[in-house]
Amino acid sequence: MNNCLSKNKFCLDGKVALVTGAAHGIGFAIAEGLAGNGAKVVFNDLSQEMVDKGLAAYKEKGIDAKGYICDVTNEEQVKEMVEKIEKDAGVVKILVNNAGMIIRKPMEEMSAAEFRKVIDVNLNAPFIMSQAVIPGMLKSGGGKIINICSMMSELGRETVSAYAASKGGLKMLTKNIASEYGGRNIQCNGLGPGYIATPQTAPLREEGHPFNSFIIAKTPAERWGNPEDLAGPAVFLASPASDFVNGHILYVDGGILAYIGKQPK
């Protein structure tokens, strides 16, 4: 038995972990956490420029990652990427469906094409990615699929109809993959971030901004999350420690979903 695994249920030594859209942000933090526990990280992005930026960022962290250009909504590109990864690094044993997008618009202003685009990236792509890696997982004895869900898998909010629909669908895709492949040693779970401090949310987090005050008041932890807060939960869901956890959505939200909010004064 692998010496690391014999002593540590969180060990990922030698396992190939594919994290989509992980050149930066939440995906990068998750990939860094997986690499820190021994996984071989591979990732994709839409352009060579973004892949190169990601590779430089991983190198700076001392991580020997491999990057690929791929549109996760394109079945042929995904199939080709997975074949390349298997040749370059080995069979994908851990898939993190992290790539995603949001369009914030009131429903009456959103076109059907915009709605479909969000569904394509956030829901169809995880289906396409999972479908591409499952055969290799089955042949090699199993694997882990982690879908990046959202609090919007459970809640609604103004201006995010497409996003909430896609993440609600992703929650149910997670449960179905778990149901269909659990008996063949594939565990599929979701990771549901709360409000995370990233460059994209920086303007909303400025002192005095109403949304910043709203989020802090709604969060029992009384702060925004950091991308690094997702690394440990991702390692758990990717590791043998979670071998009997399947079809679960682990919300990393500082307690928002458990909290009704403060009584107005």
3-state secondary structure the chain: CCHHHHHCCCCCCCCEEEEECCCCHHHHHHHHHHHHCCCEEEEEECCHHHHHHHHHHHHHCCCCCEEEECCCCCHHHHHHHHHHHHHHCCCEEEEEECCCCCCCCCHHHCCHHHHHHHHHHHHHHHHHHHHHHHHHHHHCCCEEEEEECCHHHCCCCCCCHHHHHHHHHHHHHHHHHHHHHHHHCEEEEEEEECCECCHHHHHHHCCCCHHHHHHHHHCCCCCCECHHHHHHHHHHHHCHHHCCCCCCEEEECCCHHHCCCCCCC
Contacts for 76 with CB less than 8 Å, ≥ 6 apart: none
| Residues labelled catalytic | 163
